[in-house]
Amino acid sequence: MKILVCIKQVPDMESKFKIDVAGTWYAKTDLAWRMNEYDEYAVEQAVQLKEQVKDADLTVLCIGSDQVKETMKKALAMGCDRGAHITDDNAAGKEPFEIAGIIAEYAKGKSFDLIFTGMQSQDRGSAQVGVLVAEMLGLPSVSTVVHFAYDGGSVVAKRELEGGIKACVKVQAPVVITCQLGMNTPRYPTLPNIMKAKKKELLSIPVQDLLKIDARQGTVKMYFPEKKGGGLVLEGDMAEMADKLIKILKDKTAVLA
């Protein structure tokens, strides 16, 4: 069995963001980087599937500059067999259709039985890439999956809908699965596995070899949204803030009356 899992490196969402010089994306300096949270579930599910079927080969794909190798190493330490690094210093400037096109071009002809992606990225959050990859490869896809089971080529999955309801579906592999938060419990790489990961194959493929389509949309500008809140901001001494808040709650709500 051949499995592909696609991951993205994103900034920690708690970071202080700045706009870049071009004014169309956030500046990449002074940020802490990590694996897109949704992709951690995708990697975990791919590794679990590999462990289940035993005879499986698992590739992790990531598009970006050399910096993304750090995130790929985590996926390798979690249990992926090999990395496919699509080298691109301007991955952030590419829209979802181009990103999907690059992944589909890589996967074409490689006969992957299962392709896992996160259901969206934490930064751009388009929720398009996984489903587009499937469309481009002519494969079925199931998005927003919170439960996955595989048995002899047959996949049973549960999609998360609004209001806590799940839709149960059946589909035959090959198939693309996009993973929602809470799908499993992503493992922490152990030290021996981190050491082993350093010896695993890390392919390097220039993005121009795989990018064969044009962007369908462009970003005009990026900016900080205007603060809507006319809310009161309390800062400073803890005890004083607590007293002020209690007074406000007494005045404005009935809960402390």
Partner 1 sequence: MKLLLIAESREGKLLGGTYELVAFAAKMNAESVMFLVGDEGVLPKYDGKLYLADGKTVGEYNPDVHKQLVLDVIAQENPDMVALSHSSYGWDLAPRIAYALKAAQVSEVVDVVGGELVVPVCNSKLRCNVKAKTAKTVVTLQAGAFGLSDEPSGTPVVEKIVARGGNQVQFTGYEQAASGGVDLGKAQVIVSAGRGIGKPENVAMIAALAKALGGEYGASRPVVDSEWVEHNRQVGTTGQTVTPKLYIACGISGAIQHLAGMKKSEFIVAINTDKDAPIGDVADVLVVADLKHFVPLLTEKIKSL
- Token representation of residue 200: 């695993």
171 in contact with partner 1 (CB under 8 A): yes
Q: What angle do CA 122, 63, 24 make, to 5 degrees?
A: 60
- Distance CA(69)–CA(202), nearest Å, equals 9
Helix (H) or strand (E) holding 246: helix 238-252
Site for partner 1 (CB under 8 A): which residue of 29, 162, 191, 192? Answer: 162
The least CB distance from residue 73 to partner 1, in Å, is 24
Site string for partner 1, 30-69 (x = CB under 8 A): ----------------------------------------
The least CB distance from residue 103 to partner 1, in Å, is 13
Site string for partner 1, 111-150 (x = CB under 8 A): ---------x-xxxxxxx--xx--xx---xxxxx------
94 in contact with partner 1 (CB under 8 A): no
151 in contact with partner 1 (CB under 8 A): no
- Distance CA(230)–CA(223), nearest Å, equals 20
The least CB distance from residue 90 to partner 1, in Å, is 16
The SS3 of residue 236 is coil
The least CB distance from residue 156 to partner 1, in Å, is 8
Helix (H) or strand (E) holding 7: strand 2-7
Strands 141-151 and 154-160: antiparallel
